[in-house]
């Protein structure tokens, strides 16, 4: 009965463990709807628990339950493994195609396009600035007095500073070599993109200029001069040209004379000429010619970026990963602001020029503003068109991938529904077995009650038999003792009779009847002795 009770308790535990196992089996369904990016399930612990539960159930169940649990385990476990492996495969596929499927933002796309054009524009402008020429074919000198250039200032020791604006070799700027802070300030004939400066000293009895610094500004007077470069001239008596590394838009030039060759008393400078292109011609050139040359490589790059669904360059991968992850260290707005700052540093703001140039006619400045607006609108339109084409191509690919994923998800959901139906059927079968188990439990409980009552009656009868057995044992011991006592008495009596008979024989040898008395012993004593011996023998068996 104790074994039956333990088996019943084990069945209850097995039923509870089966419900927990079903919960573990349904967990992949919940996981598929609530999984996060990059999450990988670990079903090993749950599989081991499922196997342990199945092993216990098979030990404690009857043959029908054993077969049912075995079929359930054999059916669910492969599906469970497939469901556990499916999220990993799906995550791997998503990690393969999502980074290139996510498009760039408009700000980042625009900033990259503008930055590429700024780089190409600046690289081309540094060595390809076409100088303005006069009708006769000579280069236009913006620092010539005949063109309207003026000398605005110089150090107090300087003499004949305005002579450097003319081509007369007999006139020159004269400075004592011992003077400090030697400089001249020149107003160009008009706002100019300065590219080249030419200096010369034709005076023989003087020291040649060695090192000088060139500064520029769009307004005068000003406290902030833009650095254009440091240059070192050769110790020669002819004209020398110096090209700026980065052309700048300036109207006023400041020439700081830092050192000289030789040890003459005077340091002279005969001529200073400035070459470049003015604002109007530069804007027209950029609009008509340079803009087409700059947009041509951009079109090819944009087409390549639009057609290629898998960008190979590291920059594209980094940009896509930053857009996809959302944790880029330099957002698109920062990049745009940096590029716009760079653009503003290269091309000054015409509105600021109007505010600074109070005494100047604003006609060319207004034209410059309009040209810059046209260029900006053209560039923005071009970027927007390329961005829309890129978005169209990318979103078509994204929607195709989404359609494939949705089709795969539909198939997976149908399989999950079929698995759920099978689980419901098996649950109904388990419920039926549970009801059978309850009826069997009630029947066993009734039999267990009857058995307890029979056990109580049997226990009372056994106790009665034990009492009777103890009483019989006591009586047997008493009979044994009595028989032993009587046997001893009989032996003693017989011994006395024999001794008496011998004594009498010895006393009366001549008597003939003595032998008769010696042999005449009472037979009752022998019979009593025999009875006692038989009883003792029976009791000792």
DSSP per-residue codes, 59-72: HHS-HHHHHHHHHH
Q: Are 184 and 151 in contact (CB under 8 A)?
A: yes
- Cα–Cα separations (whole angstroms), residue 100 to 10, 97, 317, 391: 57, 6, 8, 12
Q: Are 25 and 80 in contact (CB under 8 A)?
A: yes
DSSP per-residue codes, 240-270: EEEEEEEEEEEEEEEEEE--BSS--SEEEE-
The token pair at 529 is 């002795």
- Give tens-digit pLDDT for 259-314: 889 888 889 888 999 998 876 666 666 656 544 554 444 444 434 343 333 333 33
Could you tell me which residues come within 8 angstroms of residue 342 by beta carbon, excluding any fewer than 6 positions away? 115, 118
Q: Are 252 and 185 in contact (CB under 8 A)?
A: yes
Q: Are 140 and 194 in contact (CB under 8 A)?
A: no
Residue with the two structure tokens 């607006």? 373
Q: Are 268 and 175 in contact (CB under 8 A)?
A: yes
Predicted confidence at residue 461, as pLDDT, reads: 92
d(CA 420, CA 26): 8
d(CA 534, CA 541): 11
3-state secondary structure of 236: coil
User: Burial, 536: exposed, middle or buried (Cβ in 10 Å; 0-12, 13-18, 19+)?
Assistant: middle
d(CA 164, CA 257): 14
d(CA 287, CA 281): 10
Q: Are 186 and 220 in contact (CB under 8 A)?
A: no
Per-residue pLDDT of the chain (541 residues; tens, 9 = 90+): 455 556 656 666 665 665 555 555 565 555 555 554 444 444 444 434 444 454 454 444 444 444 444 544 454 444 444 444 444 444 444 444 444 445 566 666 666 666 665 555 544 444 456 777 777 778 888 888 888 899 899 998 888 888 888 888 888 888 888 888 889 999 998 888 888 999 998 888 888 888 999 999 988 888 899 999 999 999 888 889 999 988 888 899 999 988 889 888 889 888 999 998 876 666 666 656 544 554 444 444 434 343 333 333 333 334 333 333 333 333 333 434 444 444 444 444 444 444 444 444 445 566 667 777 887 888 888 888 888 888 888 888 888 888 888 988 999 999 999 999 999 999 999 999 999 999 999 999 999 999 999 999 999 999 999 999 888 888 888 888 888 888 888 888 888 888 888 888 887 765 555 445 554 556 777 788 888 888 888 877 7
Predicted confidence at residue 139, as pLDDT, reads: 85
Predicted confidence at residue 336, as pLDDT, reads: 42
Percent composition of the chain: helix, strand, coil (DSSP 3-state, to 5): 65, 15, 20
- Give tens-digit pLDDT for 378-403: 888 888 888 888 888 888 888 888 88
DSSP per-residue codes, 200-211: E---SSSBPB-E
Q: Are 207 and 197 in contact (CB under 8 A)?
A: no
Q: Are 129 and 195 in contact (CB under 8 A)?
A: yes
DSSP per-residue codes, 84-107: HHHHHHHHHHHHHHHHHHSPPPHH
Predicted confidence at residue 523, as pLDDT, reads: 74
Q: Which among 192, 153, 141 is positioned nearest to 162, based on CA atoms? A: 153
- Long-range interactions of 380-385: CB distance < 8 A, separation 24+: 380/110, 382/113, 382/295, 382/298, 383/109, 383/110, 383/113, 383/114
Q: What is the CA radius of gyration of the chain?
A: 62
The token pair at 103 is 């498009």
Predicted confidence at residue 216, as pLDDT, reads: 92
Q: Say how far residue 75 (Cα) sits from the centre of its chain.
A: 35
Spell out the alpha helix ranges (H) of 308-331: 314-325
Q: Say how far residue 477 (Cα) sits from the centre of its chain.
A: 95
The token pair at 500 is 């008496």
d(CA 150, CA 188): 7
Could you tell me which residues come within 8 angstroms of residue 250 by beta carbon, excluding any fewer than 6 positions away? 188, 191, 192, 194, 216, 217, 218, 226, 228
């Amino acid at each position: 009965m104790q074994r039956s009770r333990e088996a019943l308790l084990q069945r209850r535990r097995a039923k509870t463990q089966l419900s927990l196992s079903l919960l573990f089996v349904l967990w992949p369904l919940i996981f598929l709807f609530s999984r996060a990016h990059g999450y990988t399930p670990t079903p090993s612990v749950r599989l081991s628990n499922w196997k342990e539960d199945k092993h216990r159930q098979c030990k404690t169940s009857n043959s029908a339950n054993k077969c049912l649990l075995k079929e359930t385990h054999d059916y669910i476990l492969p599906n469970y493994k497939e469901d556990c492996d499916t999220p990993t495969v799906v995550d791997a596929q998503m990690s393969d195609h999502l980074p290139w499927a996510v498009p760039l933002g408009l700000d980042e796309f625009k900033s990259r396009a503008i930055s590429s054009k700024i780089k190409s524009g600046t690289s081309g402008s540094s060595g390809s600035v076409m100088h303005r020429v006069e009708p006769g074919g000579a280069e236009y000198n913006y620092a010539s007095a005949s063109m309207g250039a003026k000398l605005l200032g110089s150090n107090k020791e300087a003499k004949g500073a305005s002579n450097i604006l003319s081509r007369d070799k007999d006139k020159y700027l004269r400075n004592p070599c011992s003077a400090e802070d030697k400089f001249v300030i020149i107003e160009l004939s008009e706002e100019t993109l300065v590219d080249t400066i030419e200096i010369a000293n034709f005076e023989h009895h003087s020291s040649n200029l060695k090192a000088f610094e060139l500064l520029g500004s769009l307004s005068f007077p000003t406290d902030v001069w833009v650095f254009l470069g440091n240059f070192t001239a050769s110790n020669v008596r002819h004209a020398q040209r110096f090209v700026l590394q980065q052309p700048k838009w300036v109207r006023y030039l400041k020439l700081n004379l830092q050192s000289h060759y030789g040890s003459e008393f005077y340091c002279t400078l005969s001529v200073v000429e400035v070459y470049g292109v003015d604002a109007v011609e530069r804007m027209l050139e950029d609009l008509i010619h340079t803009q087409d040359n700059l947009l041509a490589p951009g079109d090819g790059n944009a087409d390549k970026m639009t057609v290629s669904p898998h960008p190979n360059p590291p920059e594209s991968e980094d940009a896509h990963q930053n857009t996809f992850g959302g944790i880029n260290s330099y957002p698109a707005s920062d990049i745009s602001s940096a590029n716009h700052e760079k653009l503003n540093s290269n091309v000054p703001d015409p509105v600021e020029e109007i505010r600074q140039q109070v005494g100047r006619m604003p006609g060319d400045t207004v034209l410059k503003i309009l040209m810059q607006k046209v260029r900006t609108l053209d560039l923005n339109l071009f970027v927007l068109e390329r961005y829309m084409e890129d978005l169209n191509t990318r979103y078509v690919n994204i929607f195709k991938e989404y359609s494939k994923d949705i089709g795969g998800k539909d198939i997976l959901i149908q399989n999950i529904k079929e698995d759920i139906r099978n689980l419901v059927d098996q649950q109904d079968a388990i419920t039926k077995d549970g009801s059978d188990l309850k009826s069997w439990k009630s029947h066993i409980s009734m039999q267990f009650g009857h058995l307890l009552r029979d056990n109580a009656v049997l226990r009372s009868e056994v106790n009665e038999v034990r009492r009777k057995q103890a009483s019989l044992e006591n009586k047997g011991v008493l009979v044994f003792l009595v028989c032993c006592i009587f046997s001893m008495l009989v032996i003693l009596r017989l011994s006395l009779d024999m001794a008496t008979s011998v004594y009498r024989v010895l006393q009366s040898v001549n008597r003939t009847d003595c032998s008769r008395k010696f042999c005449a012993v009472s037979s009752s004593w022998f019979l009593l002795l025999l009875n006692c011996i038989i009883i003792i023998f029976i009791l000792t068996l």
